[in-house]
């Protein structure tokens, strides 16, 4: 079981379903859902900048297509802190997109743990838990 999870998704229904699936599988002690990715960055960046690993979530599920900033812009904003992310956080792109070009683009971010499709499936959740 993880200590803390961020769910970053502008779609309330999708965020709710993701948290419900994770909760049903006893995935984490705490969930923080951000409907606005800017709010998530505001919470996350100071912890990364000051290397406060105890404040960095163990897992982040990041939607790709969002207003304000999209998933790619979010990844670009945290990219300077890739070493801290790699050591203490699993960051997954969670999207309904099936575009193979987006999967390839995701592979350019070496701190990204994976590219997952919505809705999260029980087998994927078990795989993440098993390999943590």
Position 118 scores a pLDDT of 93
| Cα torsion angle, 118, 72, 45, 84, sign | positive
Position 99 scores a pLDDT of 85
pLDDT tens, residue by residue, 40-50: 999 999 999 99
Contact status, residue 110 vs residue 79, Cβ threshold 8 Å: no
Contact status, residue 74 vs residue 48, Cβ threshold 8 Å: no
pLDDT tens, residue by residue, 22-58: 999 999 999 999 999 999 999 999 999 998 988 999 9
- Dihedral Cα 111, 113, 115, 117, nearest 10 deg: -140
CATH number at 119 reads 3.40.50.2300
Position 34 scores a pLDDT of 98
Alpha carbons 16 and 7: distance in angstroms, whole number: 9
pLDDT tens, residue by residue, 88-114: 999 999 998 878 899 899 999 999 999
- Note down the domain range covering 124: 2-130
Number of domains in the chain: 1
Alpha carbons 119 and 16: distance in angstroms, whole number: 11
pLDDT tens, residue by residue, 62-90: 999 998 899 999 999 999 999 999 999 99
Position 42 scores a pLDDT of 97
pTM, entire model: 0.96
């Amino acid at each position: 079981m993880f200590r803390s999870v961020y769910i970053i998704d502008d779609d309330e229904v999708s965020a709710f379903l993701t948290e419900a699936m994770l909760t049903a599988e006893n995935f984490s002690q705490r969930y923080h859902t951000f409907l606005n990715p800017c709010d998530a960055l505001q919470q996350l960046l100071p912890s990364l900048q000051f290397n406060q690993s105890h404040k960095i979530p163990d897992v982040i599920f990041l939607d790709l297509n969002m207003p304000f900033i999209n998933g790619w812009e979010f990844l670009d904003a945290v990219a300077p802190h890739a070493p801290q992310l790699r050591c203490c956080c699993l960051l997954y792109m969670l999207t309904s997109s099936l575009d193979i070009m987006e999967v390839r683009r995701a592979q350019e971010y070496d701190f990204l743990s994976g590219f997952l499709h919505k809705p999260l499936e029980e087998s994927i959740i078990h795989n993440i838990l098993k390999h943590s």
